[in-house]
Chain A
Amino acid sequence: MFVYSKDLSQYILNPFCIMLDDIDEIPEGGALLYQGSRYMLLPPAALVDFQKSMEDKLGTEAVSQALYSSALRQGRYFTGKVLDELSLEPDDAVRYMAALARGMGWGRIEITSLDISSLTLELEAFHSAFAEEYGKAKDPVCSFIRGFFAGVWQAVTGSEVEGLEMHCRAVEGPSPCIFVFAGSADRKKLRVSISQVKVEED
């Protein structure tokens, strides 16, 4: 259960320190709890090594899809809990989840555009743990972040959405990773530039 009761703006400014206050170890030791759920500290190298090992066996596209799908379910689940227990407005729920991701060290997630009526959300991830750990890649590698925020956006809007990583540090070099999320129905029509989503005319 979420027990968060601090001011949202303070949380967004400094999520890591506030999260640390809320992390407990169970009395007998061996399990860390944050807001009632079990967590463990894991270096990104462990996840990225697993990702690369799976890519060797299954191919990058299959692994990207698997990471995306599982992260989407996680994003949906946690956002649902946040909406339920913290009574946040939809845009604040996205900000909260971005702060949570930052606090967990995935990267500093900045919301560059958010419009519920058009189902579009754009994010930038500075210092993506996945991209920085992966090294040079041919295709975007932040599938977990992409899936997680697709789930966040799906929970907030109630609509099927798709997430694209338009720009990845692992592909393009030092710069933020850029993500765009939009309704699935518009997927084929999306023509995306770095800073805006344009829907093509039929």
Chain B
Amino acid sequence: MGSLALFNEDSFEDEVLKSEVPVLVDFWAEWCGPCKVIAPIIEQISIEYEGRLKVGKLNVDESPQVASKFGIRGIPTLLLFRQGKPVEQIIGAVPKAQIVAKLNSHL
């Protein structure tokens, strides 16, 4: 079991924007098919990058204001935050290798 976090509107600022380590946020929803495809990959990444990267999920239906603030129009969308700012965006159910390559370029 990795250290996959669950973010929401209340926790987002403290756990993501003020985090000292980079944070990968998976914007998702229960009804979203492509989100189900990518979910196991996110779980794997949370295990493989433990200690170097915080990984978590944010349900766009439960936290619409956060999703709106970052212009999320399709899900899954992965946003990588460093020092409170989004530095990478990955949209859709893309292969793990593509996600890892983009993450590694920032870590």
Contact = CB atoms under 8 A, between A and B. Distances in A.
Interface of A: 76-77, 79-80, 83-84, 90, 93, 151, 154-160, 184-185
Interface residues of B, number: 14
Interface in B53-92: 73-76, 92
Nearest to A83: B33
B78 to A, nearest CB: 12
Chain B's interface: helix, strand, loop or mixed, by majority?
loop
A158 B30 contact: no
21 contacts: A76-B29, A76-B31, A77-B30, A79-B31, A80-B30, A80-B32, A80-B33, A83-B33, A90-B33, A154-B31, A155-B31, A155-B32, A157-B33, A157-B34, A158-B34, A158-B35, A158-B74, A158-B75, A158-B76, A159-B73, A160-B74
Interface centre among B36, B74, B92, by most chain A C-beta atoms within 10 angstroms, is: B74
Interface of B: 29-36, 73-76, 92-93
A89 B36 CA distance: 12
Nearest to B28: A158
A77 B31 CA distance: 5
B36 A83 contact: yes
A69 B36 CA distance: 23
Contacts of A76: 29, 31
B73 A79 contact: no
Given A158-B92, A158-B93, A79 B74 contact: no
